[in-house]
């Protein structure tokens, strides 16, 4: 590379390497970093590339290695204003590491993330103004009230005078913590603490929210309330929300799209419906088929034995009050199976295709790899 080419790189740091670079490495057809239009974008799949809005959150070829451990390995995705994206994966999959990098709390080994167009590597200060991060567990200060806590963060984000009071009031009302404003934060319940944490992330009215396990440890009511708040944030306030959780039923209800990550790599990224329909590629000799569920009034053990002897039936297992199994036959064969079942004297009360959930998709997609 000549000196002038080097100067050109200095002028435009994120520019692709010049042709000289490729030829010098002796590897043809090499491109640098995934072009933005090729970054996975399931919610915008039907929208022409030039008509898509600007993404508020964009991850490009993100890597984070801890020695030999690839905590995050070439992760790329985009999200847009008003969207809630779920980030699903087993423990140690790289969710929190990715979120910490987006929140400017860690540096990637390679790649970059952009929040409202600002790089987390090059412009962390600008990113912080646009982003709210709620970590998995956040500490509470002693000798501090709810309102003082929010007031401090409003000051820390540069709010002054009336603006600061309005910001605190807005958050207190949104999170329904107004009645608790004068309570010491150490005395708040887990649910209320999570609300306070959410309020803190909202104090500077960020465009992107990163929520790491916000529903962990909450009771059902608190979970539903938190879910409603997150829905409001995206639907009414047009915020982009990236949320990780192990409670997949919750995510299925609030997310527009989700990415399933395991061992640092995104395995599947799509809309919730796409994920639910997603079936892993099967081997040619794999005879398993669509999942079916059958409920009988009695003799469920006999039915299980009987099902195992039937053609096209595999993976028979009890689930709640039913038996679930996989059926590889067509519709006519399915009807015939039901007919024969009744003919055998089983009092069938339910015979239906088992509805696919995000949990099923998660179990079928991930392999339980621990790095």
- For residue 199, count other CB atoms closer than 10 A to its CB: 25
Shortest distance, position 96 Cβ to other proteins, whole Å: 11
Burial (CB < 10 A; 0-12, 13-18, 19+), residue 91, is exposed
Nearer to other proteins, 65 or 306 (CB): 65
Shortest distance, position 10 Cβ to other proteins, whole Å: 6
Shortest distance, position 254 Cβ to other proteins, whole Å: 23
Q: Whole-angstrom Cα distance, residue 198 to residue 258?
A: 21
SS3 163: helix
- For residue 61, count other CB atoms closer than 10 A to its CB: 17
Residue 21's contacts (CB-CB under 8 Å, 6 or more residues apart) are: 1
β-strand partners of 268: 260
Q: Are 134 and 209 in contact (CB under 8 A)?
A: yes
Q: Are 313 and 260 in contact (CB under 8 A)?
A: no
Residue with tokens 């919750």: 250
Nearer to other proteins, 11 or 285 (CB): 11
Q: Are 227 and 181 in contact (CB under 8 A)?
A: no
Shortest distance, position 256 Cβ to other proteins, whole Å: 24
Extract the tokens encoding 79.
């999200």
Shortest distance, position 250 Cβ to other proteins, whole Å: 23
Cβ contacts of 68-74, under 8 Å, gap ≥ 24: 69/371, 70/263, 70/264, 70/371, 71/97, 71/264, 71/371, 72/97, 72/98, 72/101, 72/108, 72/264, 73/263, 73/264, 73/265, 74/111, 74/265
Shortest distance, position 187 Cβ to other proteins, whole Å: 14
Shortest distance, position 99 Cβ to other proteins, whole Å: 11
Nearer to other proteins, 44 or 196 (CB): 196
Nearer to other proteins, 53 or 137 (CB): 137
Nearer to other proteins, 73 or 83 (CB): 73
- Give the DSSP letter of residue 370: -
Nearer to other proteins, 99 or 361 (CB): 99
Shortest distance, position 6 Cβ to other proteins, whole Å: 5
Shortest distance, position 234 Cβ to other proteins, whole Å: 21
Nearer to other proteins, 221 or 281 (CB): 281
Burial (CB < 10 A; 0-12, 13-18, 19+), residue 236, is exposed
Nearer to other proteins, 136 or 360 (CB): 136
Q: Are 135 and 141 in contact (CB under 8 A)?
A: no
Chain residues in the site for other proteins (CB under 8 A): 1, 3, 6, 9-10, 13-14, 17, 21, 25, 27, 29-34, 38, 61, 63, 65, 67-68, 70, 73-74, 103-112, 121, 124-125, 128-129, 131, 133, 135, 137-144, 148, 152-153, 155-158, 160-161, 164, 200
Nearer to other proteins, 59 or 361 (CB): 59
């Amino acid at each position: 590379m000549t000196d002038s080419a080097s100067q050109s790189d200095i002028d435009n740091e994120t520019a692709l390497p010049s042709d000289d670079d490729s030829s010098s490495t002796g590897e043809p057809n090499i491109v640098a970093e995934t072009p933005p239009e090729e970054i996975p974008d399931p919610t915008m799949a039907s929208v022409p590339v030039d008509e898509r809005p600007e993404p508020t959150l964009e991850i490009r070829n993100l890597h984070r290695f801890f020695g030999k451990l690839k905590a995050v390995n070439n992760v790329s995705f985009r999200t847009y204003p008003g969207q809630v994206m779920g980030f699903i994966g087993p423990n140690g999959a790289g969710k929190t590491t990715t979120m910490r990098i987006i929140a400017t709390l860690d540096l990637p080994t390679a790649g970059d993330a952009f929040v409202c167009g600002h790089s987390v590597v090059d412009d962390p200060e600008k990113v912080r103004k646009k982003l709210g991060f709620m970590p998995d567990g956040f500490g509470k200060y002693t000798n501090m009230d709810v309102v003082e806590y929010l007031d401090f963060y409003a000051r820390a984000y540069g709010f002054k005078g009336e603006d600061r009071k309005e910001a605190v009031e807005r958050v207190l009302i949104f999170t329904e913590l107004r009645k608790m404003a004068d309570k010491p934060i150490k005395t708040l319940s887990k649910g209320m603490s999570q609300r306070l944490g959410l309020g803190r992330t909202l104090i500077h009215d960020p465009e992107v929210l990163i929520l790491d396990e916000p529903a962990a440890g909450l009771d059902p009511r608190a979970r539903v309330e938190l879910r409603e708040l997150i829905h409001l944030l995206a639907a009414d306030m047009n915020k982009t929300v990236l949320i990780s959780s192990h409670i997949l039923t919750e995510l299925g209800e609030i997310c527009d799209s989700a990415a399933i990550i395991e061992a640092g790599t995104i395995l599947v990224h799509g809309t919730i419906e796409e994920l639910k329909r997603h079936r892993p590629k099967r081997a040619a000799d794999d005879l398993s088929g669509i999942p079916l569920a059958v409920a009988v009034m009695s003799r469920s053990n006999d039915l299980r034995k009987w099902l195992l002897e039937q053609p096209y039936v595999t993976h028979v297992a009890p689930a709640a009050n039913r038996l679930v199994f996989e059926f590889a036959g067509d519709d006519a064969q399915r009807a015939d199976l039901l007919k024969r079942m009744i003919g055998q004297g089983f009092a069938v009360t339910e015979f239906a295709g088992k509805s696919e959930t995000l949990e099923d998709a998660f179990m079928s997609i991930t392999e339980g790899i621990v790095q």
